[in-house]
């Protein structure tokens, strides 16, 4: 019988995905297309935010949307009804998008020259945080009815995002959601995150979100490297 021997492996398990993601980022940067990865729990308002963003962005910003859902195309139809090119990726049971799936979405949108592509990731605060999609910026939504303890339960998601949109603030007076406690928990995980309170229903706070996005799009269009 052969002796048992040890082989050194020393490899990152997610190296393949990370490499594809880095390729997506570079390719889109050279085309001056900003890629945003939007993540949240189911029902916190990702599709509503995208529809509000379509209304709010300046004329002339060309937007495309990659929708991910386990098995439906309801979201893409809502976006396409506004005249925005939208691709629905059905993840077929997968709980997140990876960089290869995003590549398929980008290819399917490639007939359009775009300034901005928003990925609506699968509604889930766990898995999407682990897989780099190739996005230049990660944005998440936490809605008031979900509770202020979510940063304690899903720390990884809060730690990887550039922007946190706290949605449904019109519901704040009806709930015991503690904005200050939530803010403190999120900033402890991620001191650089930008927190914006919004309501996709009333429109409150959306101008700050649109201004941030518009600035990012413009810095990409002018070929500047955004931080």
Partner 1 sequence: MHELPITESILKIVLKHADKNNVRQVMAIHLRIGKLSDLEDDWIQRYFDYLSKGTVAQGAKLIIERTPIILQCNSCKTSYEADMAAIGDAVCPACGQTDSTLISGREYYIKDMEVQ
Q: Which residues bind partner 1 (CB under 8 A)?
A: 1-14, 16-17, 94-96, 98, 124, 126-127, 130-131, 151-152, 155-156, 158-159, 184-189, 191
Min. distance of Cβ 125 from partner 1 in angstroms?
A: 10
Min. distance of Cβ 101 from partner 1 in angstroms?
A: 11
Min. distance of Cβ 114 from partner 1 in angstroms?
A: 28
Min. distance of Cβ 209 from partner 1 in angstroms?
A: 23
CB of 188 or CB of 204, closer to partner 1 = 188
CB of 156 or CB of 211, closer to partner 1 = 156
Q: Is 80 exposed, middle or buried (0-12, 13-18, 19+ CB in 10 A)?
A: middle
Torsion of CA 124, 127, 131, 134, to 10 degrees: 0
Cβ-proximal residues to 140 (8 Å cutoff; 6+ apart), any chain: 38, 39, 40, 125, 157, 158, 161, 163, 164, 165
CB–CB of 194/171 below 8 Å?
Answer: no
| DSSP 8-state code for residue 227 | -
- For 141, the 3-state DSSP assignment is strand
CB of 131 or CB of 177, closer to partner 1 = 131
CB of 7 or CB of 111, closer to partner 1 = 7
CB atoms within 10 A of CB 199: 21
Min. distance of Cβ 76 from partner 1 in angstroms?
A: 23
CB of 48 or CB of 190, closer to partner 1 = 190
């Amino acid at each position: 019988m052969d002796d048992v021997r040890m082989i050194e492996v020393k490899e990152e398990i997610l190296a393949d995905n990370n490499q594809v993601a880095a390729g997506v980022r570079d390719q889109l940067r050279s085309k001056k297309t900003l890629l945003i990865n939007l993540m949240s729990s189911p029902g916190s308002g990702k599709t509503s935010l995208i529809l509000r963003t379509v209304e709010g962005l300046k004329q002339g910003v060309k937007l495309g949307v990659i929708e991910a859902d386990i098995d439906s195309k309801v979201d893409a139809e809502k976006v396409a009804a506004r005249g925005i090119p939208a691709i629905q990726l059905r993840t077929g049971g997968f709980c997140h998008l990876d960089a290869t799936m995003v590549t398929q979405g980008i290819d399917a949108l490639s007939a359009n020259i775009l300034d901005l592509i928003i990925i609506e990731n699968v509604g889930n605060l766990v898995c999407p945080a682990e897989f780099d999609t190739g996005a230049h910026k990660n944005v998440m939504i936490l809605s008031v009815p979900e509770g202020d303890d979510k940063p304690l339960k899903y720390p990884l998601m809060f730690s990887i995002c550039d922007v946190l949109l706290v949605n449904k603030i019109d519901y704040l007076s009806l709930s015991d959601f503690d904005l200050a406690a939530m803010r403190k928990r999120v900033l402890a995980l991620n001191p650089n995150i930008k927190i914006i309170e919004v309501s996709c229903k009333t429109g409150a706070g959306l101008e700050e979100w649109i201004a941030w996005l518009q600035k990012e799009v413009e810095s990409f269009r002018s070929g500047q490297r955004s931080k």
